[in-house]
Amino acid sequence: MSIKEKEILGFQSLIASALAFSLMTVCVKKLEGRIPVAELIFIRSAISLLITRFLMKQLKVNPWGTNKKLLLIRGVMGTGALFCIFKALMLLPLSTATVIQYSYPTFTAISAKLFLGEKIRKRILVAIMMGWVGITLVVHPLRGESIGGGQNLFAIGIALMGAVLTALAYVSVRKLSKKEHPLVIVHYFPLVSAPICLPFLFSEGVIPLGMEWLWLLGIGLFTQLGQVWITKGLSLLPAAQASSINYTQVIFATIWGMLFFSEFLNIYVVTGAICVFGATLISLSARPDLELVIK
């Protein structure tokens, strides 16, 4: 496969992943916070585990991998990120929680530089900065929410922590994807998260009712699809470039917020969305053989 073909496939995989994850956030918001975060993650993990093990059996993939230590670390980081993301989605509007979560490309670029030695190309740096501008505009400030309240400050902190843990998880995936099968990497996520959530399930779990079962199924299915596609994308593109492409989830979240949760569009959201889309285009055009790099 040529470099250009890898870039196109990586871009397509990451856009598909962003769409899947955005639909997962809709399912979480639809539950309106009645079901505890740990229970959501446990159910999501159970669904993911069943699907992944079935696929690995069909493809005859060894489920345990080789770098078990890093696979476990990736699982812990991903689980922590999910706890933060789901909690933030319960406390904040969909678009607000998403745009704060999508401060993670900056943390990804820095982490990839520190832990993987990946160089940050100038065009990627511009894409990240443009994405931050878009996030700031969409928030403006927090879409009319009062940021002075203790609950909002707590929610902002939770969302930012989710962004940091997401970045560390993505860097782990980037490292693992050089030798591990994508399904093995996806497999370790629920393998770690399910045991972590189990004690919380016994102490605070509730029985889902009616349509809640559908939203729970959606969380599991869309997260599984998102994990597979993002793992594929991260195996084909550098971490900083891949994460800046994922800014497109902000656009999806804005659309779903309008359609499903009456989060109205305004000039700040439109301008921010344009910045995010521009960041994606710049990132896609950042060819390794053409770009100067920042040492």
Write the pLDDT tens digit of every residue in 220-255.
Answer: 889 888 878 887 887 887 766 676 677 778 788 878
**Amino acid (1-letter code) at residue 85:** I
- DSSP three-state, residue 291: coil
More confident residue, 148 or 278: 278
- In the chain, where does DSSP find H-type helix? 3-30, 37-59, 68-91, 94-101, 104-111, 122-139, 150-176, 182-204, 212-236, 239-245, 248-261, 267-284
Higher pLDDT, 35 or 142: 35
Q: What is the pLDDT of residues 120-145, one digit of tens each?
A: 777 778 878 887 787 777 666 554 45
Which has the minimum average pLDDT: 80-94, 199-213, 227-241?
227-241
d(CA 113, CA 127): 16
Across 8-24, average pLDDT: 89
Residue 290 has pLDDT above 50, yes or no: no
pTM over 0.85: no
